[in-house]
Amino acid sequence: MLIIAQLSDFHVRPRGSTGYGDVDTSAMFRAAVDAVLAMDPRPDCVVVSGDLTDCGLDEEYQIVADGLAKLPMPVFVIPGNHDRREQLVRSLGSRHAYLPRGGFINFVEDRFPVRLICLDSVEAGETYGSFCAARQRWLRETLAAGRGKPTAIVIHHPPFLVGVDGMDELRLTDAAALEAIIREHRQVERVLCGHYHRAITVRYAGTVGYVAPSTAHQVALDLRPGTSNRFVMEPPAFAVHTWRPDMGMTSHLMPIGDYGGPFDIVLAGDYPGRAAHA
Ligand SMILES: [Fe+2]
Ligand SMILES: [Fe+2]
């Protein structure tokens, strides 16, 4: 079984700084790396769906680079709106050889039974994302070259609506073009996003759209129309996507932190069923 850990939205700050008032995003990033290392079995690879840093500073990327270097499995990163392409590639490029030197940070990873297509949705200077004609062309050609092989697309900005107004106004523009391209390719098992700091699943473009939570602060679930995003210190988490030929892809949520257990399940004497096994 292939195991992919999806981490997202580290928002790492320089040494001695916190984010959003008092959120120690860098310590929470290190805890996320430790949580991946503690998994048994360990993931075959890790994808990071953007917002590696909070401000795109070299010092922040150095902390990201050092933390990710502890992971023994391949790690793939894409930028988010809090990243700066040049600084990201300058700081991570030596250890992350797949990163294109210049231009959009689009790349394909084909060594696993699930093909990873990683997309750059950053519109520099903006919080929303974009997917211009050049990126559309690249994706169309890349998907066409991989017909028949299960594929996960990784992109920071969700291209679908989620019904939370504060989130939806930060989504991907040019989303109709992206949806049309994905809809033509039945091999796409998932569109894996970040940006919204909350686990969300939707039906999208004939496949499944998924938003991973942040390893740091989360965004509150606020379904009242017209409200703005506020953050909340719900448990940080990451996603674990598994794939097997007889199963396809499943997506699990892995909270980061000690919540007690695991404990053996002892059935109550009044349980109405039979024990599944002795
Ligand atoms: Fe973020
Ligand atoms: Fe973001």
Ligand 2: distance of its center to the CA of 27 in Å?
19
CA distance 16 to 125: 26
Ligand 2: distance of its center to the CA of 210 in Å?
15
Ligand closest to CA 10: 1
Ligand 1: distance of its center to the CA of 184 in Å?
29
Ligand 1: distance of its center to the CA of 114 in Å?
26
Ligand 1: distance of its center to the CA of 154 in Å?
15
- DSSP per-residue letters across the chain: -EEEEEE----B--TT--BTTTB-HHHHHHHHHHHHHT-SSPPSEEEEES--BSS--HHHHHHHHHHHTT--S-EEEE--TT--HHHHHHHHTTT-TTS-SSS---EEE-SSSSEEEEE--B-TT-SSB---HHHHHHHHHHHHTTTTS-EEEEESS--S--S-HHHHTTSBSSHHHHHHHHHT-TTEEEEEE-SSSS-EEEEETTEEEEEPPPSS-EE----STTPPP-EE-PPPEEEEEEEETTTEEEEEEEE-S-----------TT-SS--S--
Residue 275, pLDDT above cutoff 80: no
* 218-272 per-position pLDDT tens digit: 999 999 999 999 999 999 999 999 999 999 999 999 999 999 999 999 999 999 9
Ligand 1: distance of its center to the CA of 79 in Å?
10
* 99-152 per-position pLDDT tens digit: 999 999 999 999 999 999 999 999 999 999 999 999 999 999 999 999 999 999
pLDDT at res. 130: 98
| Sheet arrangement for strand 200-204 | 107-109, 115-119, 151-155, 188-193, 207-211, 200-204
pLDDT at res. 187: 98
Ligand closest to CA 129: 2
Residue 65, pLDDT above cutoff 70: yes
Please tell me the pTM assigned to this model: 0.97
Ligand 2: distance of its center to the CA of 12 in Å?
13
Ligand 2: distance of its center to the CA of 244 in Å?
30
Strand partners, 53: 12
